[in-house]
Amino acid sequence: MEPSSSSLKKPEKRLGIIKILLVIAAGCSLIIGWFIFSSQTNPYIKETLSLKGSSDHGERLFRMNCAGCHGIKAQGLVGPSLKKVSSRIGDKKIINQIINGRTPPMPSFEMEPQTMADLLAHLHSIN
Ligand code: HEC
Sequential pLDDT tens for the chain (127 residues): 555 555 556 777 788 889 999 999 999 999 998 887 766 668 999 999 999 999 999 999 999 999 999 999 999 999 999 999 999 999 999 999 999 999 999 999 999 999 999 999 999 999 8
Q: State the total domains in the chain.
A: 2
Claim: this prediction has a pTM higher than 0.85 = no
- Ligand 1 mean position to 16 CA, how many Å? 52
Does ligand 1 come within 6 angstroms of the Cβ of 77? no
Structural domain includes residue 24? yes
State whether 62 and 100 are in the same domain.
Answer: yes
Q: What is the CATH number of the domain that holds 74?
A: 1.10.760.10
Nearest CA to ligand 1 atom 15: 103
Structural domain includes residue 33? yes
Structural domain includes residue 97? yes
State whether 36 and 55 are in the same domain.
Answer: no
Structural domain includes residue 3? no
Structural domain includes residue 77? yes
User: What b/e string do you get for 41-69 counting C-beta neighbours within 10 Å, with b at 16 or more?
Assistant: eeeebeebbebebbbebbbebbeebbbee
- Ligand 1 mean position to 43 CA, how many Å? 23
Owning domain of residue 59: 51-125
C-alpha 90/C-alpha 67 separation (Å) is 20
- Ligand 1 mean position to 37 CA, how many Å? 27
**80, 65, 59, 75: which is closest to 125 by C-alpha?**
59
C-alpha 34/C-alpha 32 separation (Å) is 5
Structural domain includes residue 62? yes
Ligand 1 atom closest to Cα of residue 105: 1
Structural domain includes residue 81? yes
- Ligand 1 mean position to 78 CA, how many Å? 9
